[in-house]
Amino acid sequence: MDFSVIGNNLSYFLLGAWPNGPLGGAALTVILSAISAIASGVLGFVLGVALAMTQGVTHRVLLGCLAFFRAIPVIMLIFWTYFLLPILFDLNVPGTGTVVVALSLIGGAYLAHSVYAGIRSLPPGQWQAGAALGMRRWQILRLVILPQALPIMVPSFINQWIALIKDTSLAYVIGVGELSFVATQVSNREMVFPTEIFLFVGGLYFTFCASLEWLANTAARRYTGRPSLS
């Protein structure tokens, strides 16, 4: 084992070609994760509430759309967005944008179900009590249901974001210069130290994900009184 290859390329691993070129490496991974985490969180929340407030055909169409995004591999969705976004919007979408859109859609589809499950986990008596007080459905949702349901959802949000950090590595397939892409670049250039390079890069991802997992467990203990199972 010879880890000098890491030291020699450290700034390339962490920042890519920046400041002389585009930002890449671990920094780009963090940025991609952060933007997709926010977008998927908002999307998941809106769709989850929509699932809870709709009935009949609308509800089933929504469920069908979400099922589609949950059924296909992330790579396939990245291919689709890579191919369809420029056609739909008639402009050149950079690779990073493509990845953010794909990851937000997938993350949003999974989170919508968590939000929906969180809302449904409350006893129906809560809705009835609100109605008895003369509140409208949206008022009940905002004032009675969500304040109780949101804490329950926190662990599943964090767990989804962990999956999201790992999925940013798939930006590799369309040549976005994030951490895994940079790792293969260095590995191909140096030729001799693949083991050290991928151990180091794996370690970086592990640091990101494990600290979030610790946060998820802490949150789960705090909000539900027991550690999360996942």
Partner 1 sequence: MEIYSPLFGELLAPKYLNWLIQGFAVTLVVSALSCLVATGLGFVLCLGRIARSRLIAWPVRSYLSLFRNTPLLVQLFFWYFGASALLPDTLRDWLNTPHGWDLMLFGLRWPPFEYIAGFVGLTLYTSAFIAEEFRAGVRGVPVGQVDAAAALGMNRLQIWCHIVMPQAVRIALPPLLGQYMNAIKNSSMTMAIGLAELSYASRQVETETFKTFQAFGIATLLYIAVIIVIELLGHRFQVRQLALRPGR
At residue 201, φ and ψ (nearest 5 deg) are -65, -40
- Calculate the alpha carbon distances from 6 to 13, 23, 31, 164, 191 in Å: 8, 18, 22, 25, 13
**Least distance between partner 1 and beta carbon 30 (Å):** 14
Residues that bind partner 1 (CB under 8 A): 68, 71-76, 79-80, 83, 87, 162, 165-170, 172-173, 180, 183-184, 187, 192, 194-199, 201-202, 205-206, 209-210, 213, 229-230
**Least distance between partner 1 and beta carbon 209 (Å):** 4
Rounded CA separation 216/196 (Å): 30
Q: What angle, 0 to 180 degrees and rounded to 10, lies between the N-to-C axes of helices 25-53 and 146-167?
A: 140
Q: Nearer Cβ to partner 1, position 52 or 183?
A: 183
**Least distance between partner 1 and beta carbon 130 (Å):** 32
Q: Nearer Cβ to partner 1, position 57 or 191?
A: 191
Q: Nearer Cβ to partner 1, position 128 or 230?
A: 230
**Least distance between partner 1 and beta carbon 172 (Å):** 6
128-158 as b/e: b if 16+ CB within 10 A? eebeeeebeeeebbeebbbeebeebbbbbbb
Q: Nearer Cβ to partner 1, position 36 or 180?
A: 180
Asked whether the beta carbons of 67 and 113 are under 8 A apart, the reply is: no
- The set of residues, in sequence order, having a beta carbon less than 8 Å from that of 69 and lying 6+ positions away, is 77, 105, 106, 108, 109
**Least distance between partner 1 and beta carbon 210 (Å):** 5
Q: Nearer Cβ to partner 1, position 17 or 209?
A: 209
Q: Nearer Cβ to partner 1, position 67 or 143?
A: 67
Rounded CA separation 59/32 (Å): 31
Rounded CA separation 202/183 (Å): 10
**Least distance between partner 1 and beta carbon 180 (Å):** 6
